[in-house]
Amino acid sequence: MWVESFSLDLDSPLDTARGQLTQRRGFLVGGDAADIAGIGEATPLPGWTESFDDCRDALAATESATPETAPDPVTTPAAAHAVELARLDGRGRRQATPLAAILRQETFGVDAGSIPQQVPVNATIGDGDSASTVAAAEAAITNGYECLKLKVGARSLDADIARVRAVREAVGDAITLRVDANGALAVPTAEQAIDAFAALDVDYVEQPLPADDLDDHRKLRDRGVDIALDESLASASVSAVLDADAADVVILKPMALGGPLQATQAAAAARDAGVDPVVTTTIDAVVARTAAVHVAAAIPAVDPCGLATGSLLADDLTADPVTLAAGTASVPTGGGLCGDGFASLHR
The three state secondary structure string of 295-311 is HHHHCCCCCCEECCCHH
Structure confidence at residue 140 as a pLDDT band (50, 70, 90): very high
C-alpha 38/C-alpha 84 separation (Å) is 10
Per-residue pLDDT tens digits for 52-95: 999 999 999 998 778 889 999 999 999 999 999 999 999 999 99
Mean of pLDDT over the chain: 94
pLDDT at position 220, please?
98
Lowest mean pLDDT among 15-19, 190-194, 302-306: 15-19
28 versus 67: which is more confidently predicted? 28
Active-site positions? 151, 253
Task: Decide: 78 and 26 in contact? Cβ < 8 Å.
Answer: yes
Structure confidence at residue 35 as a pLDDT band (50, 70, 90): low
User: Would the pLDDT of 213 be above 90?
Assistant: yes
Per-residue pLDDT tens digits for 273-310: 999 999 999 999 999 999 999 999 999 999 999 999 99
pLDDT at position 84, please?
96
CATH superfamily of 2-96: Enolase-like, N-terminal domain (3.30.390.10)
90-121 burial: b if 16+ Cβ within 10 Å, else e: bbbbeeebbbbbbbbeebbeeeeeebbebbbb
Can you tell me whether residue 95 is helix, strand or coil?
Answer: helix
Q: Are strands 19-30 and 2-16 parallel, antiparallel or unpaired?
A: antiparallel
Share of the chain above pLDDT 90, in %: 89
Measure Cα distances from 109 to 13, 89, 104, 106, 265 in Å.
42, 19, 6, 6, 12
Average pLDDT of the segment spanning 317-336: 96
User: Would the pLDDT of 32 be above 80?
Assistant: no
pLDDT at position 36, please?
62
C-alpha 260/C-alpha 37 separation (Å) is 17
| Helix (H) or strand (E) run with residue 180 in it | strand 176-180
Per-residue pLDDT tens digits for 216-236: 999 999 999 999 999 999 989
Fold exhibited by the domain 114-337: TIM Barrel (3.20.20)
pLDDT at position 346, please?
86
Sketch the domain layout of the chain as residue ranges: 2-96, 114-337
Nearest CA to 56 out of 75, 76, 39 is that of 76
Per-residue pLDDT tens digits for 100-136: 999 999 999 877 668 999 999 999 999 899 999 999 9
Strand partners for 16: 19
pTM for this model (two decimals) = 0.96
Average pLDDT of the segment spanning 153-165: 96
Q: Are strands 276-279 and 249-252 parallel, antiparallel or unpaired?
A: parallel
Half-sphere exposure of 199 (CA within 13 A, CB side): 9
Task: Decide: 278 and 305 in contact? Cβ < 8 Å.
Answer: yes
pLDDT at position 68, please?
85
User: Would the pLDDT of 172 be above 90?
Assistant: yes
